[in-house]
Amino acid sequence: MTKPALSDEILMRVEKPARYIGNELNSIKKDKSKVEIRFAMCFPDVYEIGMSHLGIQILYDMFNKRDDVWCERVYSPWPDLHAIMKEQSIPLFGLESQEPVRDMDFLGITLQYEMCYTNVLQILDLSQIPLLAAERTDDCPIVIGGGPCTYNPEPIAAFFDLFYIGEGEITYDALFDLYKTMRTAGKTRGAFLREAAKLPGIYVPSLYAVTYREDGTIAQFAPLYEDVPAVVAKQLVLDMTEAVYPEKPVVPFIKATQDRVVLEIQRGCIRGCRFCQAGMVYRPVREKNVERLKDLARQMIAATGHEEISLSSLSSSDYSELEELVNFLIEEFHGKGVNISLPSLRIDAFSLDVMSKVQDIKKSSLTFAPEAGSQRLRDVINKGLTEEVILDGAEMAFRGGWNKVKFYFMLGLPTETVEDMRAIAQLANETAARYYDTVPKEQRNGKCQITISTSFFVPKPFTPFQWARMYPPEDYIGRAKVVNDAVKEQLNRKSIRYNWHEADVTVLEGVLARGDRRVGDAILKVYEAGGIFDAWSEFFDYKRWTDAFAESGIDPDFYTMRERSADELFPWDFIDTGVSKEFLRREWDNAMAGTVTPNCRARCSGCGVKKFGGGVCYEDKD
């Protein structure tokens, strides 16, 4: 019987104690005396969010398939338990063994969102591991960062021993084998990191030095030793069908954010939206065989008892076997109490036919993500979506019985004008008008409901917009006011609802997304001042961040308010994602000219990822 890390008295005092007790269905326990590597896999947010993350499920399954590795899960304790653990010096623990993370060999932290960076420090602090990598000794776990934020790891470089750049299925076996060999030989932590840096996709920040110009930009980024690579290449899985995938995912005790079976149908996206980091760094598109997906669906439903299957993809409509897969899922699970969720679909006749079979039309809403209100700005961002397509899709939906539509837009995109902002309200009005024009009164399910949501644009590394500037929070709020005022002017305003994102969080996200190593000092100060769960509005404190920047001598405007020059050396330029900087700059120039670039299946635009030798770049070229 596993001894719980927390007493019953503590569990009774905290919200949702099931977050901390382990023993969930399909969780894996091993005899620790028979494994050689203990790995704590952490998502630095609350249990319900972390349990919904597919990447951790994949690596948890993959690591535990090795007889010599025991991988356990770790999530951020909610503030109530955080306070108790600090007060009583209780070390953070793995859910499976209930044993301290500090006693394990590796602590892997997935970095999905910049606003979770203070939670990274929470995890290290509660684990009683020194926050700074430079202060760790040979008996501390090796702290690894992975996930999309590692495409600019520099703001948090001081807190990590190494980063894994790319998809985790490739290099971890080699890393584990190296660790075992060097430990057997009695080698030090420093010696292991030096050798690990030579493995594909592994970045060890302590082995690189940065120098800066007088204007604050980077003058040089270079390895300290000749045997350490100057460029770190992204790792990716070419054969998605044969890649490891969890057939028996862990089932949470309490409702997770995404409490369902997730089928990853493909990775990457052919669309080339210029604001989208995922669409660039996950290139090329690689599909999973439809027969493998059918088998996975059967196995995962049987192993979990979940009542919903969701397809995971950046753009599900672009999956070449979508019709066959969806029809199979509908037929296979008909009458068995299993719902089918189809996110990321383009709204066309096929999609609406399918959704009418798998959704309760009266309750559900259709989602469009035009991102920009005007056609001019959609061309700038290369969205590839015309107003006609949007309105025709909405009309088909209205005729099919839907009366709720959600629109997602961004404000603050490069070249945006007041006319572009007002066009958001006008598009919503035109959509509502289509409903009242095409659906007879006697056939309506009440009035039409159009919900507009706007976030504020954040330029991300490895996108054509990585050169773009941002704006002060008050400017973003002013842009939201333009949209809000325009909504009030529309004929169908009673059918339109408008929500917008927090502006100060957006600006901070921009600093953390494109910052360099100097930003790490401010992150540390925010944590020391009590900052955790910054991704949650109820805990976010903008002043805590502005105070930390001032105390650290950091001007956040340097990272957000200036447009970069074409020749500026970025903090992330040492990473090779396959997509060349020349292509990204060409796409920036195309954006400024309002020129649309075709998708990858329509025409190759020479982004550079063809060098990987697979995926969409080689379709029909056997």
Tokens of 555: 């001007």
**Looking at the predicted structure, is the pLDDT value of residue 517 above 70?**
yes
pLDDT digits (tens, 9 = 90+) for 168-226: 999 999 999 999 999 999 999 999 999 999 999 999 999 999 999 999 999 999 999 99
**Looking at the predicted structure, is the pLDDT value of residue 361 above 80?**
no
Measure the CA–CA gap between 588 and 599, rounded to whole angstroms. 16
Is the CB of residue 269 less than 8 Å from the CB of residue 76? no
Range(s) within the chain of domains with CATH label 3.30.750.210: 236-359+578-622
Q: At what angle do helices 387-399 and 349-358 cross, to 10 degrees?
A: 40
Task: Assign 611 to helix, strand or coil.
Answer: helix
Range(s) within the chain of domains with CATH label 3.30.750.200: 360-501
Is the CB of residue 265 less than 8 Å from the CB of residue 288? yes
For 170, other C-beta atoms within 10 Å of its C-beta total: 18
- Alpha-carbon dihedral angle through residues 321, 324, 325, 331, given to the nearest 10 degrees: 180
**Cα 459 from chain centroid?**
15
Measure the CA–CA gap between 435 and 440, rounded to whole angstroms. 9
Measure the CA–CA gap between 333 and 112, rounded to whole angstroms. 32
Task: Assign 107 to helix, strand or coil.
Answer: strand
Measure the CA–CA gap between 231 and 247, rounded to whole angstroms. 35
Contacts of residue 503, defined as CB under 8 A and 6 or more positions apart, other chains included, come to 456, 473, 474, 476, 477, 480
Q: What is the pLDDT of residue 105?
A: 98
CATH assignment of 360-501?
3.30.750.200
- The mean per-residue pLDDT over the stretch 548-552 comes to 98
Q: Which residues of 358-391 are buried (b: 16+ CB within 10 A; e: fewer)?
A: bbebeeeebbbebbbbbbebbbbbbbbbebeebe
pLDDT band of 621, cuts 50, 70, 90: low
pLDDT band of 4, cuts 50, 70, 90: very high
pLDDT band of 258, cuts 50, 70, 90: confident
Tokens of 205: 């920040």
* CATH topology assigned to domain 236-359+578-622: Transcription Regulator spoIIAA (3.30.750)
Tokens of 423: 């066009």
**Looking at the predicted structure, is the pLDDT value of residue 235 above 70?**
yes
Tokens of 295: 């088998």
Match 């075709």 to its residue by tokens.
Answer: 598
Contacts of residue 590, defined as CB under 8 A and 6 or more positions apart, other chains included, come to 382, 464, 596, 597
